[in-house]
């Protein structure tokens, strides 16, 4: 009998990948499936990025790089953060990692252990809770409420901090809700955090360029008072349609940088060298394709929200960011997960049940509008037919 450690009985995963596998299996049987499940842009990586990466391979960049990434790329990240948010970041604080997810993995490993509390958004990205439980720390959900447009409430977040709290995870724009926390609320939160100088903050800003309706993204690096305990998570996956490249970056404060570098050396050594040159082209090259993609998401967002609000029993708050809609389905009479399953099996539309994002996700489903407007309209029509004919199971 193999004697593995108990933590592996507690680790979770992302159900979006399971739904994707089921949708693909149904499609392989010849069913016509529209995928609004997985959270990845339906666009190709812009050509100049692909070309830069191919050139790097042709130029002989075949070996390991430094564990923290190539200097040019770390400089480009620092320059990009300065250009967009007017924040001063040293390339020595930037670490290149194989995906944004790796930053949350490392950060939660650094702060989670039995006896520690970690605060995370609920509904939220499922890996936060999974990793917190893996470490043996206590997961403390911070409710993201529909009546608050799924933004963080500074007051409620601060009220959940205890002497055991080691890490607070923030995410805006948010997955799965599309919620964006306004600057006034972030200001209040940062002010309140002054009273808790031992709490580290992990700010997941992977959707930072996807904000709509004139909202401005608030980068937590712009608050000097928390810079010495702020971890920034960001990357290329969403903005440049590069989910499969596995590229992300973090800004780590103080000694955490060296801890992260050592975790890299102990596991993946460094990020794929040619991918790093692609990432460099993404930051230093033309931004118009990324901007076009985001403008297209904005157009689809309106189509999705309009359509959802016309479905029987469904109401949808307008998401201000990312590429997700998180409609309330409580008045359909269905529980969210059976509804998501039935919509896939009977209407051929892949969506994710809200409970896959946390306890407070019951009563909601998530649709990713990273699909063509034509498919989105077809999916809405199918969901409408389904809901008007089919009573709750
Ligand atoms: N953070 C959030 C909120 C996400 O939704 C995702 C991906 O879905 C990630 C991080 C991870 O991004 P990456 O693919 O770069 O690891």
**Closest listed residue to residue 304, CA positions, set 357, 360, 212, 374:** 374
The Cα 208–Cα 277 span in angstroms is 22
Give the position of tokens 């006896």. 115
- Token reading at 159: 């009220």
Give the position of tokens 């903005």. 239
Cα 248 to the chain's mean position, in Å?
Answer: 12
C-alpha pair distances (Å), 99 with each of 96, 234, 246, 341: 9, 8, 5, 29
C-alpha pair distances (Å), 273 with each of 67, 135, 280: 11, 31, 11
- Please, is 22 exposed, middle or buried when counting C-beta atoms within 10 Å of its C-beta (0-12, 13-18, 19+)? middle
pLDDT in tens, the chain (393 residues): 899 999 999 999 888 888 889 999 999 999 999 999 988 898 999 999 999 999 999 999 999 999 999 999 999 999 999 999 999 999 999 999 999 999 999 999 999 999 999 999 999 999 999 999 999 999 999 999 999 999 999 999 999 999 999 999 999 999 999 999 999 999 999 999 999 999 999 999 999 999 999 989 999 999 999 999 999 999 999 999 999 999 999 999 999 999 999 999 999 999 999 999 999 999 999 999 999 999 999 999 999 999 999 999 999 999 999 999 999 999 999 999 999 999 999 999 999 999 999 999 999 999 999 999 999 999 999 999 999 997 776
- Token reading at 1: 């009998």
Q: Are 228 and 254 in contact (CB under 8 A)?
A: yes
The Cα 275–Cα 245 span in angstroms is 7
The Cα 384–Cα 224 span in angstroms is 49
Residue range(s) occupied by CATH 3.90.1150.10 in the chain: 6-44+288-387
Is 63-284 a domain of CATH 3.40.640.10? yes
Strands (E), 90-238: 94-97, 117-122, 138-143, 165-171, 200-204, 230-235
| Pocket test residue of 101, 122, 203, 275 for ligand 1, highest count of atoms within 8 A of CB | 101
**What's the CATH fold of domain 6-44+288-387?**
3.90.1150
Which atom from ligand 1 is nearest to the alpha carbon of 102? 16
Q: Are 293 and 241 in contact (CB under 8 A)?
A: yes
Enclosing H/E stretch for 346:
helix 336-347
Which atom from ligand 1 is nearest to the alpha carbon of 243? 14
Supply φ then ψ for residue 324, to 5 degrees: -125, 145
The Cα 276–Cα 261 span in angstroms is 16
Q: Are 103 and 250 in contact (CB under 8 A)?
A: yes
Measuring from atom 8 of ligand 1, which residue has the nearest CA?
A: 39
- Token reading at 366: 């998530």
Residue range(s) occupied by CATH 3.40.640.10 in the chain: 63-284
Altogether, the residues listed in the chain come to a count of: 393
The Cα 309–Cα 320 span in angstroms is 16
Question: Which residues are near ligand 1 (CB < 6 Å)?
Answer: 39, 99-101, 125, 171, 175, 204, 206, 235, 237, 243, 248
| Pocket test residue of 45, 100, 104 for ligand 1, highest count of atoms within 8 A of CB | 100
Q: Are strands 248-251 and 94-97 parallel, antiparallel or unpaired?
A: antiparallel
How many angstroms does the Cα of residue 386 sit away from the middle of ligand 1? 31
Query: 55-87: buried (b, 16+ CB within 10 Å) or exposed (e) per residue?
Result: ebeeeebeeebebbbbeebbbbbbebbeeebeb
């Amino acid at each position: 009998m193999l004697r593995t450690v108990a933590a592996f009985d507690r680790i979770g995963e992302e159900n979006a990948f399971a739904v994707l596998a089921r949708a693909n299996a149904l499609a392989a049987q010849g069913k016509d499936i529209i995928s609004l499940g997985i959270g990845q842009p339906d666009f190709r990586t812009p050509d100049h990025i692909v070309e830069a990466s191919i050139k790097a391979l042709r130029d002989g960049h075949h070996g390991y790089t430094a564990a923290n990434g190539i200097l040019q790329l770390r400089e480009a990240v620092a320059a990009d953060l300065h250009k967009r948010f007017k924040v001063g970041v040293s390339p020595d604080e930037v670490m290149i990692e194989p995906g944004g997810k790796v930053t949350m993995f490392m950060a939660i490993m650094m702060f989670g252990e039995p006896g520690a509390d970690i605060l995370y958004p609920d509904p939220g990205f499922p890996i936060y809770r999974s990793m917190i439980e893996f470490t043996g720390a206590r997961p403390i959900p911070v409710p993201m409420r529909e009546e608050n447009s799924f933004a963080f409430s500074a007051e409620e977040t601060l009220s959940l901090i205890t002497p055991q709290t080691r890490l607070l995870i923030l995410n805006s724009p948010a997955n799965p809700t599309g919620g964006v926390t306004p600057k006034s609320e972030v200001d209040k939160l940062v002010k309140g955090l002054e009273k808790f100088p031992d709490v580290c903050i992990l700010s997941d800003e992977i959707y930072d360029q996807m904000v709509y309706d004139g909202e401005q993204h608030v980068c937590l690096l712009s608050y000097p008072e928390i810079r010495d305990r702020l971890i920034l998570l960001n990357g290329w996956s969403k903005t440049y349609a590069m989910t499969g490249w596995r590229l992300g970056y973090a800004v780590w404060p103080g000694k955490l940088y060296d801890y992260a570098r050592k975790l890299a050396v102990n596991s993946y050594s460094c990020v794929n060298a040619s991918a790093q040159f692609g990432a460099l082209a993404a930051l230093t090259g033309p931004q118009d394709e990324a901007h076009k993609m985001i403008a297209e998401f904005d157009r689809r967002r309106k189509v999705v929200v309009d359509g959802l609000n016309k479905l029987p029993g469904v109401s949808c708050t307008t998401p201000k960011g990312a590429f997700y809609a998180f409609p309330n389905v409580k008045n359909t009479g269905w529980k969210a997960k059976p509804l998501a399953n039935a919509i896939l099996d009977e209407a051929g539309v892949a969506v994710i049940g809200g409970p896959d994002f946390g306890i407070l996700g019951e009563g909601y489903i998530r649709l990713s509008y990273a699909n063509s407007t034509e498919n989105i309209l077809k999916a809405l029509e199918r969901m409408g037919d389904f809901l008007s004919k089919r009573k709750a199971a």
